[in-house]
């Protein structure tokens, strides 16, 4: 009958509308398209795994930076610590950030073990873009108005031949700075760990050992927390042999 035909046509229309709605693919979020991985007219079929059509960024004003922290340093890194980082696009600008998460899973590359650490970054001016390479500095300890000594001074030990006699220049010439590439005699000093150590100072042409207690280190300078070293003393960092 005519009524049955109308009902059948209505059902066909509803089915067609449903199929049409399924043909429209909409983004689940508002954001920015970072990459398009499909071309107009290309057939999209979802089988066991849904294909990736677009790569989207929801909010570029709040970003995350992933950095690799060496296993020797990860014990000092905590959530909430302040950090700064630079990117190649703006080498003279330091961006502030903070530690959001320190990963527990390790990764090894070229024999170096590191841990993935995530930094929270405010990118209100949108100068940072996904995929940029960054170099970060994590502040683990802040020290103000402290006595510092070069790490090279903690590694130094005078050569056995450094005596005042028989050398054309004496001990002082033995302790003159050496050309680039000449290193101190000992690399066995423990830098940046609390404990009794010593540095060598020059007094009246003689090298004199001065005991010190060290504190935190930034890899170049180390805090002196105790001992007989005083500000202004000249410490010895390296030596060069004099010709006889």
Helix (H, G, I), strand (E, B) or coil at 55: strand
What is the chain's mean pLDDT, rounded? Answer: 83
Domain for residue 158, yes or no? Answer: yes
| pLDDT of res. 182 | 45
CA nearest to 75, candidates 104, 107, 110: 104
In a domain, 131, yes or no: yes
Q: How do residues 27-68 score in pLDDT, each as one tens digit? A: 888 888 888 888 888 777 766 677 788 888 888 899 999 999
Containing 211, the helix (H) or strand (E) segment is strand 206-217
- For residue 190, pLDDT over 90 is answered with no
| Domain housing 219 | 147-227
Instruction: Give Cβ neighbours of residue 187 (< 8 Å, ≥ 6 apart).
Output: 155
Q: How far apart are CA 221 and CA 149, in angstroms?
A: 6
Chain CA centroid to CA 16, Å: 56
Tell me which of 138, 168, 193 is where a domain ends: 138
Is pLDDT above 70 for 244? no
Q: Which of 48, 61, 70 is nearest to 120 (CA)?
A: 61
Asked if residue 66 belongs to a domain, the reply is yes
pLDDT per position as a tens digit, 218-238: 888 999 999 989 998 889 998
Contact in structure between 116 and 65 (CB atoms under 8 Å): no
Overall residue count recorded for the chain in this entry: 244
Domain count, the chain: 2
The pLDDT assigned to 184 comes to 45
The whole-number pLDDT of residue 187 equals 43
Widest distance between CA atoms in the chain: 127
Confidence at residue 25, expressed as pLDDT on a 0 to 100 scale: 79
Paired residues of 65 in beta bridges: 119
Compute the average pLDDT of residues 142-167. 77
Are residues 27 and 54 in contact, defined by beta-carbon separation less than 8 angstroms?
Answer: yes
The CA R_g of the chain, rounded to the nearest whole Å, is 32
Residue 236 lies in a domain: no
CA dist., res. 154 & res. 151, Å (int): 5
Mean of pLDDT values over 158-169: 56
How far apart CA 93 and CA 203 sit, in angstroms, is 44
**pLDDT tier at 112, thresholds 50, 70, 90:** very high
Q: How many CB atoms lie within 10 A of CB 148?
A: 15
Does a structural domain hold residue 176?
Answer: yes
Taking the whole predicted model, whether its pTM rises above 0.95 is answered as no
Q: Do 69 and 95 fall into the same domain?
A: yes
Higher-confidence residue of 22 and 39: namely 39
């Amino acid at each position: 009958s005519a009524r049955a035909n109308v009902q059948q046509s209505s059902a066909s229309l509803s089915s067609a509308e449903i199929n049409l709605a399924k043909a429209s693919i909409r983004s689940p979020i508002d954001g920015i398209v970072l990459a398009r991985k499909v071309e107009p007219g290309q057939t999209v079929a979802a089988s066991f795994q849904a294909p990736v059509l677009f790569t989207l960024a929801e909010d570029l004003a709040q970003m995350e930076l992933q950095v690799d922290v060496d296993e020797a340093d990860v014990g000092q890194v905590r959530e909430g610590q302040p950090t700064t980082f630079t990117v190649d696009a703006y080498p003279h600008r330091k961006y502030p950030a903070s530690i959001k998460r320190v990963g527990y899973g390790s990764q090894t590359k070229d024999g170096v073990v590191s841990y993935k650490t995530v930094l929270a970054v405010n990118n209100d001016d949108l100068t940072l873009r996904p995929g940029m390479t960054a170099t970060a500095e994590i502040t683990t300890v802040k020290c103000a108005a402290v006595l510092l000594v070069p790490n090279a001074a903690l590694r130094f030990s005078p050569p056995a031949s450094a005596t005042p006699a028989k050398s054309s220049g004496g001990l002082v010439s033995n302790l003159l700075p050496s050309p680039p590439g000449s290193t101190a005699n000992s690399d066995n000093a423990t830098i940046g760990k609390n404990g009794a150590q010593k540095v060598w100072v020059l007094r009246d042409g003689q090298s004199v050992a001065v005991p010190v207690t060290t504190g935190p280190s930034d890899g170049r300078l180390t805090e002196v927390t105790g001992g007989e070293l005083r500000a202004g003393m000249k410490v010895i960092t390296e030596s060069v042999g004099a010709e006889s």
